[in-house]
Each structure stands twice: as structure tokens, then as C-alpha cells.
Amino acid sequence: MVTITLKNLRKTFGEVVATDDVNMVLEDGKLSTLLGPSGCGKTTLLRLIAGFYEPDHGEIYFDDRNVTDIPPNKRNTGMCFQSYALWPHMTVFDNISYGLKIKRVQGMKYTPSAIDKRVNNALELVQMSGLGERTPHQLSGGQQQRVALARALVIEPDVLLLDEPLSNLDAKLRVEMREEILRIQGELGITTVYVTHDQIEALSISDMVAVMDVGYIQQYAPPREIYDSPQTLFVADFIGKCTFLDGEISALGDTLSVRLPDGQIVKGMTPLLGYPFQLNELVRCAVRPEDLHSVATSLEDNMISGVVNQVVFVGSNIEVNFNVGEVSATSLLPSDAELEPGSLIKLYAPLSQMMVLPIGGIDALRKIPGHPLYASTES
């Protein structure tokens, strides 16, 4: 297994910047996810790691080995594609064994008995024992995905690369295969890079998550940190739900005071340590719906007043949509709360849960000394 280090990676297609200023370390034996919307650059970054694309500049290391100019077949990576890419005229056994038949170890080919043993072990690992003689059209979507995973693993790669492997499956199968991938990755301890646009998928299986937008890594951290302490407005909005309140800084310090357009003052803290906030700077406060309560828990809690717009029953809770001035906000309250459209509402947000974030994403990160993007402010 290896640690993958990416240094100053940039890749363009004509005038389109697919990914830029990528600096991060994907740790040995960990499952790291590249998460973001379509077109954000996550698949491009995966293909750079695989060697299918060459970067315009920057370097890729597997441990201390610079693989930037090494072709894909020399990097010892296993790739699992979104479309499965199984050969329809081959059996399951032949699909999985293909990589072994063309791979050499110290100049020697695998013997037929060695191939048979490895393929059967791979089939057992993905719980497909006894199905080696079937063809892809005789398999369900979930089974085809297992075969594609077995084919990637049978060559014993140093790195496993998964490009949206579950996007073609229905909801139930996605959950099942997600658990299988997590089990297999845990058993093998293989360094894995996983691409997805599904937030739940990313948060549930990852050791580390890189949230991407317009080609840049907006945040790279463990899942809980990504959710609890988003560093940009994009991350806060893309991961889970957030209520956003625009305002301007009215007082600085460890606690930031923000004046809302209707005159209310809220106090909060920023997860973006090192950012140089200024008085009267326009900012956006973010609070998770579950952190807006109908009863104060502390004298320091922020009180937010508004007018109920809509009440939606969602099982054990109700989702309350309300307006703070002209700003729409959302809270998640117990289902026994009695609220109707048009009624006044007062909610309380703990100071520690009110996140104050600067307007902008990459531009804000570039202003923080020590941040991976800070050095590129002069470029």
C-alpha cells in the first residue's frame, strides 16, 4: 500500500481549467473521497492519479516514487469504472482473469493454476463464488459491479481507484454495495480513492473527504469536520442543509458579532481560522436546521425572530421554513411543536453552532496564511 501525494497539480482542456492548485496527501490504507457536483474536476483528478491524463504541471508521488510521467500500466493501480466496462462476450472468470493474463511479475507470467486460485479468491472476496461461468448479461447490476471490483482487486494493486461505482444502482443496492466496498477496503487495508457526487455516500464510507468545486479543493478533512466546520459557503451548502443569514461584521474578536438586515444582532464563531475579517465586511452566517431550537439552552444563545412560511411533517420532526426579514431560513423541530404559516416564531441558536463565513470560496481561502491555496495569490 502507498501514500499518494499531490503537489501543485493543474490540468486544463483547451481554455477549460479542469483542476488547479491541488495539494494534498492521501494516506496509506485510508479511503479518501473526492466529492462534488458534476463538472467540478473530481474524475479528472482521479484520472491524473491513474495516469490516464498528464498534468499541465505539478507532481504525483506514490510514497517517495514520482509517478507523474509513468504510464498507467506501470503504476499498479486497480480501476473500477462507473459503467463497469465488462466485456460482454467473456465469462465472469475471464473478465476477472484478463488483467492477470497480461500482467507479468519479475518478467514471468502467472501460471494457469495461479490465475485460477487468484480469481476464485477474488470471487469469494466479493461474495460471487460459483458464478465464474456466467456472462455479464446474466448478472444483476449489483453483481456486475462486484465483478468489476473483483477485476480491479485481483491484480493486487497498491491503489484502488473507484469512479462513481454505485451511480447506476438503485437506492437499496447502493447501500448494500457501499457496505461491501467498506468491508473489502477494511479487510485489505488498501489505499483507496473514491469519486462520488453523493454526500451521504461520501460521509458514510470515508476516512477523509475532499470537497471540490470548479476544479479546486475547497476543503479536505475527516467527514465529521467537513459537516461540523465547513470552511466555505459552498461546503456548508453542499454538505447537508444550512440556514444562511446575510449580514455585516459589527464587532471582532474570538466571537464575531453580525448585524442582520432587519437590525437583529447574532454572534458566532468562524470555522475558517486565520481569515482576516474586517469591520463592516459582508458575511454570511450558517447554522444547521437541527441547531435552531425553540427553547434557549444558554444565556449566550442567539435569538432569531421570524415569520413562519411553511410547516412540513418529516416523521419524528417538522421542518419549519420561516422568513427573517426577506431571508428564508429552515429549522428542524420536534413534531409536537404547534406552528402555522403566518405565525411569529422565536428560535435559539447556540453561539458555538452559529458559523460566520466570508463571502466567496477560493478567494477567501487565498487570504489565509498557511493554507495550501495561499501561496498562489501572486500567480
Per-residue pLDDT reduced to its tens digit, 250-280: 999 999 999 988 888 999 999 998 999 999 9
Return the SS3 of 131. coil
What is the value of pTM for the model shown?
0.88
Return the SS3 of 322. strand
* Local confidence band at 375 (pLDDT 50, 70, 90 cut-offs): low
Phi-psi domain of 234 (left: phi exceeds 0; alpha: psi -120 through 50; beta: other): alpha
- Give percent of the chain with pLDDT exceeding 70: 97
Q: Residue 251 pairs with which residues in a beta bridge? A: 257
Residue 9 has pLDDT above 60, yes or no: yes
Phi/psi at 25 (5° precision): -120, 120
* 35 compared with 325, residue with greater pLDDT: 35
Residue among 209, 123, 211, 197 nearest 165 (CA): 197
| Start-end of CATH 2.40.50.100 domains in the chain | 233-378
Q: Residue 108 has what pLDDT?
A: 61
- DSSP class per residue in 327-372: EEEEEEEETT----TT-EEEEEE-GGG-EEEES-SHHHHTTSTTST
Report CA 256 to chain centroid distance, whole Å.
29
Phi/psi at 227 (5° precision): -75, -45
Return the SS3 of 221. strand
Residues 6+ apart with CB under 8 A from 62: 2, 3, 4, 75, 158, 159
CATH classification number, 4-228, choose in 3.30.420.40, 3.90.550.10, 2.102.10.10, 3.40.50.300: 3.40.50.300
| Start-end of CATH 3.40.50.300 domains in the chain | 4-228
Phi-psi domain of 155 (left: phi exceeds 0; alpha: psi -120 through 50; beta: other): alpha
Here the cell at position 93 is 472468470
pLDDT tens, position by position, 282-314 = 999 999 999 999 889 889 999 998 999 999 998
Residue 114 has pLDDT above 90, yes or no: no
E strand residue ranges, 120-269: 159-163, 191-196, 208-213, 216-221, 243-251, 256-259, 265-268
* Neighbour count for residue 317 (Cβ, 10 Å): 17
pLDDT tens, position by position, 11-55 = 999 999 999 999 999 999 999 999 999 999 999 999 999 999 999
Q: Residue 107 has what pLDDT?
A: 57
d(CA 286, CA 330): 11
The answer as to CATH 3.40.50.720 being correct for domain 233-378 is no
pLDDT tens, position by position, 222-257 = 999 999 999 999 999 999 889 899 999 999 999 999
**Alpha-helical regions (H) of 154-250:** 171-188, 199-205, 223-228, 233-238
* Local confidence band at 377 (pLDDT 50, 70, 90 cut-offs): very low
d(CA 126, CA 316): 37
**Contact present, 196 and 202 (Cβ < 8 Å):** yes
